[in-house]
Structures are given as C-alpha cells and as structure tokens.
Amino acid sequence: MTKSQLKTKPIQETTFLISGATDGIGKVTALEIAKLGAKVTLIGRNPDKTKQVTDEIRMLSNNEAVDYFIADLSIQENIYNLAEAYKSRHSVCDVLINNAGALFTSRKESHDGIEMTFALNHLNYFLLTHLMLPLMPQDTHSRIINVSSMAHMSGRINFDDIQQRRFYNGWAAYAQSKLANVLLAGKLEQTSISTNALHPGIVATKFAANNGFMGSLLRNAMNLFSISPEEGSKTSIYLATSEEVVGINGKYFDNMKALRSSSESYDKAIAKRLWELSLEMTGLKEPYVQKAA
Ligand SMILES: NC(=O)c1ccc[n+]([C@@H]2O[C@H](COP(=O)([O-])OP(=O)(O)OC[C@H]3O[C@@H](n4cnc5c(N)ncnc54)[C@H](OP(=O)(O)O)[C@@H]3O)[C@@H](O)[C@H]2O)c1
C-alpha cells in the first residue's frame, strides 16, 4: 500500500506499546507521547516501579489512557503471556517501540538458558514484534521502532558462537545485539507496517549501571558527554509520531535523520540467517515472512 492510500488516525485513537518504559529514554518517550493524548501502554518488569511510573505519567500528561503490563522481557514465556494479556485488553497496537535493553559486562544467561544480551536486546524485540503484528492495522501507518545504538557499527553477528560461550566480551555481545536491531528493520512483507531503527545518542540514563563497580565507572565516563533523556528520546518520539516518516521503512536514524548504518547491516544473507535462527530460538510457529532479498 502506498503512502497516499494509508488512512490517517488521530493521535487520541493511536495506541502505543513501549518496552523499558520505566526509566531513561523509554520513560520520557512514554511521557511525551502520553502528553499528545495518545493511548499508551508501558511494559515494566518491576510491579511497584511500573505502577508508580504509570501513575506519574498519567498525572504529568493529564491523560488517563495510560496503562501497563509487567514482563521480564529476557524470558520468552513472559513475552508470550504479555502478548496474550495485551490482546485481552486491546484490539489494536498501532506503534510498538522496542526500547528495553542493557549491557552486561560479564556473561549471564536468561531464565531460558540464553546469553542475556542476545535474549533481552535481540530475541525480545524479535518475538514481541511478531506477536504484536496481528494487532497492527494495515490500512493506517503502523510502526515498529527498534531502539538500537551506534554501537552496532562495531558489531558482527558471530554465527559460530552467537551466545559467546567460548569467549565473552560484553561490548561485543552488546554491539552484536544492536546490529541485530538494525538488521530487523524493514524486513516485513507487510508494506504498510514500517520498521525503523535508531541511535538515541549517548544519553544520561541508568544504562550500564547494572554492572557493579565497572558499570558505575562506565556510567560516570558516559555522563561526561551525555545528552539528557529528554534529548535522547527525541528520535524515538519522532519515528513514533511524525507524519514525515509515513512510508519510510528499513532505515536507521540518528538525531531524527536517516543515516547509513554499518555495511554488515545491509547484508541480506546475514539478515536471513539471523531471522531463521531467531525463529528457531523463539519457537514461533507461523512467522511473518522475511521480505524477499
Ligand atoms: N543510554 C545510552 O547512552 C544509550 C545509547 C545507545 C542506545 N541505548 C539504548 O536505549 C535503550 C534504553 O536504554 P536507557 O539508556 O534508557 O537505559 P535504562 O535507563 O537502563 O533503561 C532501561 C529500561 O529497560 C528496562 N529493562 C531492563 N532489563 C529489562 C528486562 N529484563 N525486562 C524488562 N525490562 C527491562 C528497565 O527497567 P527497570 O526500570 O526495571 O530497570 C528500564 O525501563 C536500550 O535499548 C539501550 O541499548 C542507550
């Protein structure tokens, strides 16, 4: 469907699902979109914190159409349950913002026994996207936004040891996962659903603070040249709400501009292999097919 054939939907009727919405970039993204009067659903992993943030966003945005679900997104069963719970409350998801993510300086495995960075930063985006697709309208501009990172530029998809069992390097695992976020963009057959990826900037959030002393050092070093979460959420909000990007698909944005991503991110053979591996690792039965190369 071409851009001119897509119907427009008022923002007050548009539903947004945002992961990692309890802190940092995701929290500001949820607040600013709620201020526009949209229907906003937060995903958080900590029930008390998520309820508190939801109440805060409702109050600051003067918008009661803000709700939440609880899911640890590194656990696939939780993502499947989340999708079912979402469907029982909402019939539509117009915009999915895959934002929850983290860096792990030492190797950890998820509840499912999958290396944590790959599980949380990539398989979570992949699985939640697929489970939301049936709820995404085809006659309006439905959008999927993957919060990636410029770290993807140094990333390689290491098919020989994708979970870094032999040798773990936290940065390489992070860069691989963020490259996977870019590789997923634009890969859906459904032409009216756009998928774009973005780098938010180097943003002063709690990112990397989950890594003890080393994490605090890294966090403090990043803070020396970080932008605020308000600045860092601008590209997510732009891709989620702007009319300027209707019909734009499969691009990588930085500072609200489409830029060239790493050369590996354009490699269709790598994208296809990653897609097939991700289907296998998430147990998806009737997947949406990858766009023909
Ligand atoms: N900050 C940067 O400089 C920067 C740069 C490039 C890209 N990014 C990307 O931006 C995204 C947001 O990061 P941020 O900087 O806003 O970090 P943040 O302040 O640490 O926020 C991360 C969010 O993800 C949630 N989260 C973490 N693990 C989760 C899990 N297992 N299940 C469900 N939710 C989980 C956190 O929940 P809690 O509130 O419960 O902790 C929080 O809401 C990430 O994808 C990151 O890779 C950040």
Tell me the DSSP string of 149-176: -GGGGG----GGGTT-SSS--HHHHHHH
pLDDT tens-digit series, residues 257-281: 999 999 999 999 999 999 999 999 9
Ligand 1 atom closest to residue 203's alpha carbon, by position in its atom list: 3
d(CA 42, CA 26): 9
Is the Cβ–Cβ distance between 203 and 230 less than 8 Å? no
Structure confidence at residue 187 (pLDDT): 74
Ligand 1 atom closest to residue 205's alpha carbon, by position in its atom list: 19
**Residue 218 dihedral angles phi and psi, to the nearest 5°:** -65, -45
149-185 burial code (b ≥16 CB/10 A, e <16): bbbbbebebeeeebbbeeebebebbbbbbbbbbbbbb
User: Which residues have CB under 6 Å of ligand 1?
Assistant: 20, 22-26, 44-46, 49, 72-74, 99-102, 120, 147, 149, 199-200, 202-203, 205-207
- Right CATH number for 9-282 from 3.40.50.720, 1.10.1200.10, 2.40.240.10, 3.10.105.10? 3.40.50.720
Instruction: Tell me how far apart the terminal alpha carbons of the chain are, to the nearest angstrom.
Output: 19
Mutation test residue for ligand 1: of 23, 104, 115, 236, the one with most atoms within 8 Å of CB: 23
Residue 200: count of CB within 10 angstroms of its CB:
27
Tens of each residue's pLDDT in the chain, 293 residues: 666 778 889 999 999 999 999 999 999 999 999 999 999 999 999 999 999 999 999 999 999 999 999 999 999 999 999 999 999 999 999 999 999 999 999 999 999 999 999 999 999 999 999 999 999 998 888 999 999 999 999 999 999 999 999 999 999 999 999 999 999 887 776 567 999 999 999 999 999 889 998 888 888 888 888 999 999 999 999 999 999 999 899 999 999 999 999 999 999 999 999 999 999 999 997 555 444 33
Structure confidence at residue 285 (pLDDT): 74
Q: Look up residue 155 and give its two tokens.
A: 């990333």
Is the Cβ–Cβ distance between 186 and 251 less than 8 Å? yes
The pairing of strands 95-98 and 252-254 is unpaired
Residue nearest atom 25 in ligand 1 by C-alpha distance? 20
Please say if 174 is a catalytic residue: yes
Structure confidence at residue 293 (pLDDT): 36
Task: For residue 112, give the nearest of 167, 75, 79 by alpha carbon.
Answer: 75
Residues making up the chain, counted from first to last: 293
What are the boundaries of each domain within the chain?
A: 9-282
pLDDT tens-digit series, residues 248-259: 999 999 999 999
Structure confidence at residue 292 (pLDDT): 37
Structure confidence at residue 129 (pLDDT): 95
Which single residue is written with the structure tokens 């983290």? 102
